[in-house]
Amino acid sequence: MVPAVAPGVVPVRLVLVRHGLSSFNTEHRVQGRDDLSSLTPEGRDQASRTGAALRGLTFQGLYSSPLSRARDTAEALLASHGTGAGDLLLDDDLLEIDLAPWSGLLRSEVAQRHPEAERLWRERPESLELARPDGSTYRPLPELMVQAGRFVDRLLQEHDPAGEATVLVVGHNAILRCVLLQLLGLDASGFRRLRLENASISVLNVSQGPEERRQVQIESLNGIAHLGVPVPSRGRGPRLLLVRHGETDWNRQGRFQGQIDIPLNANGHRQAEAARAFLADVPIDRAYTSAMARPRQTAEAILGSHPGVPLTSTTGLLEIGHGLWEGRLEQEIAEGWPQLLADWKRAPETVQMPGGETIHDVWERSLRTWSRIAAGLDASETALVVAHDAVNKAILCALLGLSPGDIWAVKQGNGGVTVIDYPGGADAPPVVTSLNLTHHLGGVIDRTAAGAL
């Protein structure tokens, strides 16, 4: 597949970092916009580790919330990174959500004193209304979405997506989730679909497309491996680990493989082994794979650290059928089907592959299979699912609330790991806990092959 941002070209790379562990985090208190909470020693260590993990990047822009827990994180991060904080801009549009009536209260106290409002905050936060001291009411999350949109617009005016820059943004849980939603063109109803840990790293690529359309790609989301933990802790409900297969020779060559059964190459086997080591201490109860060699070989390698876990193959997770494009390089396809290839890059949801499938076909069968796997898990179980680029992208777009036309908004590196949780059970909305983690493959930035499917 051709990613939303062309290989090797990153016009604006946004690196989003949530502040380190704070005193209110440890006490389970509501922080909100008040500056009553401070960075803990562990939080400072997390910030330093984050700076070390980002040393390979040079920043052309540095932004932080002015609240002390974020500002102190940014300063400790930059000291570890080797970049001075002199150019750090403290931006009020990165302030955390305004939960003033609850600020300083224990979460348990909020639940006891305001049970209906607390339930609404957990289930439909976009509908929550709170009262100001003058008796007027306001809706914290819609207000924060406006604030996040304002920040995104100003940021991209300052750092033109037609240029090239890497920008660090240090903020808070809610505001960074709203920044993500604004970049993806999603509304506040998607707030609970995302998760961000203290000192986590998320990377987005933003470019200016035709007709001044902004193109956004999530390269990774909520990575914490630099803190010594592979994936975030799990809570209630089933968990699924979605992995893309390791590299093949055709990935490396940029050849469209589709449903031709190409095995892993030597690097692909190394990537599968790296994924095994990365997930070695993560419990896995069941495993599923596409009925093709490259995902099966990847799954078998990962299960080397989980002996006895049954592996089930399914045709529902097969890669998209490219039909007459399969086995061809992109240049060959451009010569034979120039308009269709251009449409595939610009509006993939409109394309019928010659003799193959549409992305809608892949969307329907992949989601049907995924939902069946999730529904078959007990609340305490974790399932490994290993599949392909287009399949994984279709699943993730659906879980994020995106459409089939948005598949380029999600990156899936060879051997990358994604974590999906269902805290309310398989029938309730999922949480994209982490997306395309590739720390085990060489660092924060995904440098796996950018070739065709």
Which residues have a Cβ under 8 Å from the Cβ of 66 and sit 6 or more positions away? 90, 91, 92, 94, 95
Q: Where are the domains of the chain?
A: 12-227, 239-441
Mark whether 143 is an active-site residue: no
4: pLDDT confidence band, cut at 50, 70 and 90?
A: very low
- Token digits for 396? 């993730």
Give me the pLDDT at residue 209, please: 61
- Token digits for 186? 């999603």
d(CA 15, CA 21): 18
Contact (CB, 8 A) for 444 and 435 = no
What are 88-102's pLDDT values in tens digits?
A: 999 999 999 999 999
pTM for this one?
0.95
Which CATH code for domain 12-227?
3.40.50.1240
What are 260-294's pLDDT values in tens digits?
A: 999 999 999 999 999 999 999 999 999 999 999 99
d(CA 304, CA 279): 10
Mark whether 116 is an active-site residue: no
Query: Which percentage of the chain shows pLDDT scores above 90?
Result: 92
Which one from 247, 319, 326, 357 is the annotated catalytic residue? Answer: 319
Could you tell me which CATH class the domain 239-441 is placed in?
A: alpha beta
What are 304-346's pLDDT values in tens digits?
A: 999 999 999 999 999 999 999 999 999 999 999 999 999 999 9
Give me the pLDDT at residue 208, please: 73
Which one from 81, 159, 172, 245 is the annotated catalytic residue? Answer: 245
pLDDT over 70 at 212, yes or no: no
What are 113-160's pLDDT values in tens digits?
A: 999 999 999 999 999 999 998 999 999 999 999 999 999 999 999 998
Give me the pLDDT at residue 164, please: 85
Which residues have a Cβ under 8 Å from the Cβ of 141 and sit 6 or more positions away? 97, 125, 126, 128, 174, 178, 188, 191
For 376-384, what is the mean pLDDT? 97
| 347 φ/ψ angles, rounded to the nearest 5 degrees | -145, 75
- Topology agreement, domain 12-227 and domain 239-441: yes
CA dihedral 270, 271, 272, 276 (to 10 degrees): 100
First to last CA, the chain: 5
